[in-house]
């Protein structure tokens, strides 16, 4: 089997496992409460979180810049978790926990 066909096969298997942008939706859950919007990409869902907490995150970034030894407590610069759970966890501050959940959308034909 040719290397390029093996790579294509692996890409297809990964796409089936994770889902493509066309067949997935993302929801944002903040401490158990759903955001009222479905997102078509992980990036859109994460951007909604970043927008909501922009002021808080900017303050924290400034505090960290002033104290070079300090690490940001927030964990929002997180790539999408591509395992089968479809769940990516973010942390903003003061017990604000965010889950971005990926669901495979099945559309009727």
How many angstroms separate the CA atoms of 87 and 44, rounded? 15
Q: What percent of the chain has pLDDT over 90?
A: 31
How many angstroms separate the CA atoms of 92 and 90, rounded? 7
pLDDT for res 17: 47
pTM, to two decimals: 0.68
pLDDT for res 19: 47
Query: What pLDDT, in 10s, does the model give residues 53-97?
Result: 888 877 777 766 666 555 555 577 788 988 888 999 887 778 888
pLDDT for res 81: 83
Contact 76, 97 (CB under 8 A): no
């Amino acid at each position: 089997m040719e290397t390029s066909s093996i790579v294509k096969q692996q890409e297809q298997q990964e796409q089936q496992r994770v889902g493509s942008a066309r067949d997935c939706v993302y929801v944002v859950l903040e401490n158990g409460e759903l955001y009222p919007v479905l997102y078509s990409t992980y990036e859109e869902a994460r951007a909604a979180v970043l927008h909501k907490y922009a002021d808080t995150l900017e303050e924290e970034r400034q505090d960290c810049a002033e104290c070079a030894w300090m690490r940001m407590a927030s964990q929002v610069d997180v790539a999408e978790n591509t395992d089968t759970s479809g769940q990516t966890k973010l942390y903003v501050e003061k017990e604000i926990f965010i889950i971005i959940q990926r669901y495979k959308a099945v559309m009727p034909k």
